[in-house]
Each structure stands twice: as structure tokens, then as C-alpha cells.
Amino acid sequence: MTRIAVLKREDMNTEQGKLFDEVKAEGGPLGGPYWAYIRFPKLMRLAQDISSCLGQGGLSKRERQVSILAIARFWGAEYPWAAQAAAAAKIGLEREIVDAINAGGRPNLADVREKMAYDLTRELLETKKLSEASYSAASKLFGEKELVSLVATVGQFSMTCLTTIAFDCTPTPEMAHRLQK
């Protein structure tokens, strides 16, 4: 059960309602952490903008999605996992990769950049640092902008996950993909 009430559009104040309408028109997400963020419209706008900006950071959709799934799995964040596993299917990320990450294992990634996106994400989260060897290897595969985007995605999506955990944002019944316990 979600700890924070999901505001209906008609129960929002003017600022909240205006932002809700804008985000909806943009096709942005309105569930999960955004149930909390709508209470702080400026934060919600910035969260939307940062996510959109990072999506333009030079990583492929698959590279970014592998990282995002690894982040959701690391934090055990149910709502983001359900949403992002569905998003992974939409971009063609193989089910075997999603299932391996869900099971807590290292996915079999043939693409060297996707593999690095996964490994760098896990290393940052698990060790709270990035070794010189990993930084050097990542720097050879990614340009500076791409590497900054990848590292920033780890931070930004961790915020998303932690928000959903703190407010116990429960996946809705129609969200088919569930995080393994």
C-alpha cells in the first residue's frame, strides 16, 4: 500500500495541476515517485528535466536501460523495476537480460558498451567508488559526455528508487513485471 496518497487531478492546487497537465502532455511519467514529487512541483519539474537531459547524454537507449535496471535491482525498488522492465521490452532489450538482472545475476551482454554500463553502475553502487581500472576502461569506451551521463544516471535514478521506497509506491495491478524478492 502506497504511504502517500495519490492525488487526483481535481484535488491538486493550481501549481500542481498546471505541472501535472504539462507533464501529461509531454508524455512524461506521472506514477511512482511522481506521486510524491507533485507535492513539490519545482522538484517534479526538475526531476523530469534531468531525466530527459540524461536521455540525451549520448548513451544508447539499451545502455541507459541496462544501467537503470541495475539501479532498480540494487535498491530493490519495486515500482521503478516494474516500470523500467516494461520500458526495456519496448526498446527491444532481450527478456533474458532483464531476467538475469532481476535474479541479481550478471546478464550476458554481447555489446561491450552495454556490459560496461552494467559493470560501472554496479561498481559505483556496491563499492561507492569507481576503481582506476574501471574508470580507464570506461573512458576508452565512452566519450566524456557519455560517461558523465552514465554516472549521473546512477545518481538520478537512485533518487527515483529511494523516493519510491520511502513512500512505498506500490506497482499498480496492470504493471506486469515484478521484482524478484
Confidence (pTM): 0.95
pLDDT of 47: 96
Q: Is there a contact between 34 and 44 (Cβ–Cβ < 8 Å)? A: yes
One-character DSSP codes across 13-29? -HHHHHHHHHHHHHT--
If we measure between CA atoms, which residue out of 3, 130, 120, 31 comes closest to residue 70? 120
Per-residue pLDDT tens digits for 91-125 = 999 999 999 999 999 999 999 999 999 999 999 99
- What pLDDT, on a 0 to 100 scale, did the predictor assign at position 49? 95
Q: pLDDT at residue 1 above 80?
A: no
Mean predicted lDDT score pLDDT of the chain? 96
Task: Please provide the size of the chain in residues.
Answer: 181
Structural domains of the chain in order of their starting residue, each with its CATH number: 61-157 (1.20.1290.10)
Burial class (CB in 10 A: 0-12, 13-18, 19+), 109: buried
Distance CA 22, CA 9 (A): 12
Provide the 3-class DSSP secondary structure of residue 174.
Answer: coil
d(CA 82, CA 73): 10
